[in-house]
Amino acid sequence: MSSLQIRNLRKSYGAVEVLKDINLQAESGEFVALVGPSGCGKSTLLSIIAGLESVTSGEVLIGDRVVNHEAPKDRDIAMVFQSYALYPTMTVRQNMTFGMECRNIDKATQDATIARVAALLQIEPLLNRKPGQLSGGQRQRVAMGRALVRDPKLFLFDEPLSNLDAKLRVEMRSEIKKLHQNVGRTTVYVTHDQIEAMTLATRIAVMHQGVLQQYDTPKAIYETPANTFVAGFMGSPNMNFFSGQVTASGAGLGVVLDGGGPHVLPLSTGHQTALSDGQPVTLGVRPEHFSPAHAQRAARKGHASVRLPVSIEMDEPTGAETILMCRIAGQEAITVCEPDEAPKPGETVEFEIDMGKISLFDPKTEARL
């Protein structure tokens, strides 16, 4: 196994800088997800790690070796592509052994490796078929098998599930997670799907416009996002953002939402450290941290809460939960609740906000306060 380090990496195409001073480190055996919207630079970064793109400045290290000028074949990596990239005229077995034959690995070792990997991926019955006879999920398993037979230091995945339907994506996500647990190799996984990133990765690198916005565990990124972009991108439905200002409230500070009238949202001690009376703020609340007041969910958990009137505009039942589009203090919001707790469109009811779960951001810099 081997670690990966990216140091002060920049990549430009002429005057256009697509990666801006990227620094991250993946320890041996970690699963790192590069996530962000289209055009954020995540696939370019993966191509640089693979050796398919050169760097403008900075270093890429695999283990303790700088690999900037090494060819892809010399980096001891294996890559799984979005398009599977299987040879259509070869059988599954031939697709998987092709690389080993190029490296002059003996036949007995090839057979033993194929048997081990095919059993791991449960593709033994497919070894004599050609790619055209396989489903999308089977082709993706074969593509992973071709990478696994190399036994590399580093696995690279470039949006491997984006061509699959929703049900198969969920199944393959579980397969990839089990595969990583069994093999234990350092893995870098590019995706635009934040659910994939949250469920698979040990650490997530959130990128936007070529800048690494935050690099941390899924739990830390979800609960303490570094800025409003990370907060809004990670999570489904998205985090709600309310404009407001800090106000003195009793012995401490609170937040009054713009258009919120007399309602003061008291802040916990931890949120008050760097704030002052009258300071404008953006209040971030995830949809699941609202709940109908009659449910008393926050009280059951022992959390501080505050009640606000909420005007329900539309509902979206999904089975396990109901998503509500509503207005709080005249500002748009999304909440989720259990189906039997959900109020009806057109109603105005009280909701509790779990004040222990809120985030505060600077409206100008968008950075977390």
CB 281 within 8 A of CB 361: yes
pLDDT (mean) for 92-109 = 91
What letters, b where the CB count within 10 A reaches 16 and e where it falls short, cover 191-226? bbbbebbbebbebbbbbbebbbbbbbebeebbeebb
Treating both helix axes as pointing N-terminal to C-terminal, what angle do 166-183 and 136-148 enclose, rounded to 10 degrees?
20
* More confident: 82 or 79: 79
In this predicted model, what pLDDT tens digit does every residue of 169-200 receive, in sequence order?
888 888 889 889 988 899 999 999 999 999 99
Tell me: pLDDT of 156 over 90: yes
In this predicted model, what pLDDT tens digit does every residue of 215-233 receive, in sequence order?
999 999 999 999 999 999 9
Average pLDDT, the chain: 91
CA max distance for the chain: 79
The neighbouring-strand residues paired with 17 are: 12
Determine the Cα–Cα distance for residues 277 and 159; give it in Å rounded to an integer: 46
* More confident: 298 or 34: 34
Tell me: pLDDT of 363 over 80: yes
pLDDT over 90 for what percent of the chain? 65
Report the predicted TM-score, pTM, of the whole model to 2 decimal places. 0.90
- Both tokens assigned to 133: 């006879």
- Is 3.40.50.300 the CATH classification of the domain at 4-233? yes
Q: How far is CA 205 from CA 145, 333, 353, in A?
A: 26, 27, 29
Nearest to 185, CA basis, from 49, 28, 320, 32: 28
In this predicted model, what pLDDT tens digit does every residue of 250-309 receive, in sequence order?
778 999 999 877 788 988 877 777 788 999 999 999 999 988 887 666 555 655 778 889
Question: Taking the domains of the chain in order of start, what are their residue ranges?
Answer: 4-233, 240-361
In this predicted model, what pLDDT tens digit does every residue of 1-13 receive, in sequence order?
589 999 999 999 9
Determine the Cα–Cα distance for residues 34 and 6; give it in Å rounded to an integer: 13
CB 277 within 8 A of CB 267: no
In this predicted model, what pLDDT tens digit does every residue of 67-80 receive, in sequence order?
999 999 899 999 98
The predicted structure's pLDDT at residue 188: 97
The predicted structure's pLDDT at residue 296: 62
- Is 2.40.10.10 the CATH classification of the domain at 240-361? no
The predicted structure's pLDDT at residue 297: 61
The predicted structure's pLDDT at residue 300: 53
In this predicted model, what pLDDT tens digit does every residue of 200-218 receive, in sequence order?
999 999 999 999 999 999 9
The predicted structure's pLDDT at residue 250: 75
pLDDT over 70 for what percent of the chain? 97
Q: For strands 252-257 and 240-249, give the pairing.
A: antiparallel
Q: Same CATH topology for 4-233 and 240-361? A: no
Residues near 58 by beta carbon (within 8 Å), at least 6 away in sequence: 6, 7, 8, 9, 10, 21, 22
